[in-house]
Structure 1
Amino acid sequence: MSRIPPLPALKAFLAACRAGSYSAAAEELNVTHGAVSRQIQTLEDWLGQKLFERAGQRMAPTSHALAFALEVSEAFERINDAAGRYGKGSATMLLRVSAPATFAMRWLIPRLEDFHQKHPGMLIQVQTATTQQISLAGSFDLAIRRGSPQADHFSAQAFLDEWLTVVAAPGLLARAPLNALHELSAHVLLDTETRPGDWQQWLNAAGSTEHGTSRRQRFDHFYVTYTALIDGLGLGIGPMPTLEHDVEVGRLVLPFAHIRTPSRRYYSLTPAGVAKTVIHRTFERWLLEQGNL
Structure 2
Amino acid sequence: MSRIPPLPALKAFLAACRAGSYSAAAEELNVTHGAISRQIQTLEEWLGQKLFERAGQRMAPTPHALAFAVEVGEAFERINDAAERYGKGSASMLLRVSAPATFAMRWLIPRLDDFHQRHPGMLIQVQTATTQQISLAGSFDLAIRRGSPQTGHFSAQAFLDEWLTLVAAPSLLARQPLDTLMDLHRHVLLETETRPGDWQQWLNAAGYRAEGTLRRQRFDHFYVTYSALIDGLGLGVGPMPTLEHDVTVGRLVQPFADLRTPSRRYYSLTPAGVSKTLIHRRFEDWLVEQGNLGDSDK
- Give the TM-score of the pair, scaled to structure 2: 0.70
Amino acid at match of 2:226: Y
**Could you say if the C-alpha distance between residues 228 and 210 of structure 1 is closer, same or farther in structure 2, counting changes exceeding 3 Å?**
farther
Larger gyration radius, structure 1 or structure 2: 2
Q: What residue in structure 2 maps to residue 105 of structure 1?
A: 105
Amino acid at match of 2:217: Q
2:272 paired with 1:272: yes
Q: What residue in structure 2 maps to residue 168 of structure 1?
A: 168
> Could you tell me how far 1:187 is from its partner in structure 2?
0.3
Pairing partner for 1:29 from 55, 79, 100: 79
2:224 paired with 1:224: yes
Q: What residue in structure 1 maps to residue 254 of structure 2?
A: 254
Aligned residue pair count:
221
2: CA distance, partners of 1:80 / 1:214:
55
SS of the residue 1:182 aligns to: helix
What are the Cα deviations for residues 133-186 of structure 1, in whole angstroms up to 9, with x where unaligned?
Answer: 000000000000001323410000000000000000000000111110000011
- Give the TM-score of the pair, scaled to structure 1: 0.71
Q: What residue in structure 1 maps to residue 68 of structure 2?
A: none
Q: Would you say the 8 A contact 1:185–1:211 is kept in 2?
A: no
> Could you tell me how far 1:27 is from its partner in structure 2?
2.6
1: CA distance, partners of 2:257 / 2:128:
28
Q: What residue in structure 2 maps to residue 284 of structure 1?
A: 284
Q: What residue in structure 2 maps to residue 129 of structure 1?
A: 129
> Could you tell me how far 1:255 is from its partner in structure 2?
0.1
**Could you say if the C-alpha distance between residues 211 and 173 of structure 1 is closer, same or farther in structure 2, counting changes exceeding 3 Å?**
farther
Q: Would you say the 8 A contact 2:192–2:219 is kept in 1?
A: yes
1: CA distance, partners of 2:220 / 2:265:
24
2: CA distance, partners of 1:237 / 1:152:
33
Of 92-101 and 279-288, the range deviating more from structure 2: 92-101
Q: What residue in structure 2 maps to residue 58 of structure 1?
A: none
2: CA distance, partners of 1:170 / 1:148:
36
What are the Cα deviations for residues 194-219 of structure 1, in whole angstroms up to 9, with x where unaligned?
Answer: 00111110011011123413310000
Of 249-258 and 147-156, the range deviating more from structure 2: 147-156
2: CA distance, partners of 1:203 / 1:263:
15
Q: Would you say the 8 A contact 1:190–1:236 is kept in 2?
A: yes
Amino acid at match of 1:163: W
2: CA distance, partners of 1:150 / 1:274:
18
2: CA distance, partners of 1:119 / 1:151:
32
What are the Cα deviations for residues 52-76 of structure 1, in whole angstroms up to 9, with x where unaligned?
Answer: xxxxxxxxxxxxxxxxxxxxx9xx7
Q: Would you say the 8 A contact 2:148–2:156 is kept in 1?
A: no
Amino acid at match of 2:79: L
SS of the residue 1:140 aligns to: coil
Q: Would you say the 8 A contact 2:100–2:131 is kept in 1?
A: yes
Gapped regions of structure 1 (runs ≥ 5)? 1-21, 37-72, 82-89
Q: Would you say the 8 A contact 2:97–2:143 is kept in 1?
A: yes
Correspondence list, 1:76-91, <5 A: 80=89
RMSD, aligned α-carbons: 2.4
